[in-house]
Structure 1
Amino acid sequence: MLKIQEIREIIKLIDQSSIHEFSFEHEGSKLKLKKQQQEVETIVRNVVSSPVQEAIQPQVVQNQAPIVETPVQESVGESTKADTANLHKIVSPMVGTFYSASSPEAGNYVEVGSKVTNDTVVCIVEAMKLFNEIEAEVKGEIVEVLVQNGQLVEYGQPLFLVKPE
């Protein structure tokens, strides 16, 4: 049977590769991973004005990412980006529900300011009724919690920012 850390490593390797589907069988255990292929469909509408009427002619453009305009950030925002550049992100290794404590009555595993080591459990991600403990995998201090208790998280979504020591 594969250990959760081995499965995490396989997921990372598949995510970084051009492979879209992966199957593995060993000693009665089966693992099958599929990447979701994101095909973005953008509809572009050309408006033609005439003295009599306006005609809207839709055109479909496939496999083109939508253009998103973002406002220029002030120098304060740029310094924040620089500050977060040297922070380590603890990311979710799977899709599931984020829990900051082992039970509603228990205290959170970590808070902002908590010191963590490589094997410190920082949260739980529940996936298909399995509660998976997520470890920090870095030594440092928690500077920001990016998700709320009970929130659904995606694979690779940042959960915590850690200032490494």
Structure 2
Amino acid sequence: MLKIQELRELIKLVDHSNIDEFTFESEGSKIKMKKNKETTVQTVVENKAQAQPVAPVVTEVPQVAVQPAQQQTEQAATVATSPAPAADENLHKIVSPMVGTFYASPSPDADAYVKKGDKVKEDSVVCIVEAMKLFNEIEAEVNGEIVEILVENGQLVEYGQPLFLVKA
């Protein structure tokens, strides 16, 4: 007989595979698993003099998210009107050196290290990225002025994700 943990692992394996149906028999125990897929069953009936059994035709119907036209237009307008600050080649990107949580200040009640328009030096601390309970101070790496802050306080950031744009 399978243990609960083994059964859970088996379910996960079947769920993440392309198998639709799975049967397992061992020592008199039988386990049968089937995936639920949304399908449309279509039966074709032909009028003939002799009645013959007809096999159903099964067609998978993919699910498509449909957005209202107004929402699509609003999204297109947002994309069209958003400025492209990265187009300016003179801007330096301060990027995250690791995956973690971005913090703009040393503590929740303290002021942010930098704000838009602040002047920074190479060794100026601009933020903290917390990873695995370690708080890593991120330095500007360049002399210049903060043009834009690209992330929100408390936001998860990826390795190499731009955090600030600095005009050198």
> TM-score w.r.t. structure 1 length?
0.52
Q: How far does residue 104 in structure 1 lie from its aligned partner after superposition?
A: 1.2
What amino acid sits opposite 1:128 in the alignment? Answer: M
Pick one of 96, 103, 107 that aligns with 2:100: 96
Q: How far does residue 84 in structure 1 lie from its aligned partner after superposition?
A: 3.3
Mark the runs of 5 or more structure 2 residues left unpaired by the alignment.
1-43, 45-56, 63-75
- Looking at secondary structure, tell me which structure has more strand per residue: 1
Q: How far does residue 86 in structure 1 lie from its aligned partner after superposition?
A: 2.5
The percentage of counterpart residues that share the same residue type is: 67
> TM-score w.r.t. structure 2 length?
0.51
Alpha-carbon displacement from aligned partner over 1:117-146 (angstroms, at most 9, x marks no partner): 110000000111111000000111000001
Provide the rounded CA distance (Å) in 2 between the counterparts of 1:84 and 1:55. Answer: 51
Q: 1:126 to 1:85 in 2, by over 3 A?
A: same
Provide the rounded CA distance (Å) in 1 between the counterparts of 2:100 and 2:145. Answer: 25
Answer with 1 or 2: which has the greater Rg: 2
Tell me the residue number matched to 1:139.
143
Q: How far does residue 54 in structure 1 lie from its aligned partner after superposition?
A: 9.1
Tell me the residue number matched to 2:129.
125
Pick one of 73, 87, 90 that aligns with 1:86: 90
Alpha-carbon displacement from aligned partner over 1:58-91 (angstroms, at most 9, x marks no partner): 9xxxxxxxxxxxx7x76x76x8356433311100
Tell me the residue number matched to 1:149.
153
What amino acid sits opposite 1:147 in the alignment? Answer: V
Q: 1:57 to 1:148 in 2, by over 3 A?
A: closer
Provide the rounded CA distance (Å) in 2 between the counterparts of 1:111 and 1:145. Answer: 8
After superposition, residues 9-158 of structure 1 pair within 5 angstroms as 55-56=59-60, 80=84, 83-158=87-162
What amino acid sits opposite 1:125 in the alignment? Answer: V
RMSD: 3.0
Provide the rounded CA distance (Å) in 2 between the counterparts of 1:120 and 1:102. Answer: 13
- The count of aligned residue pairs is 102
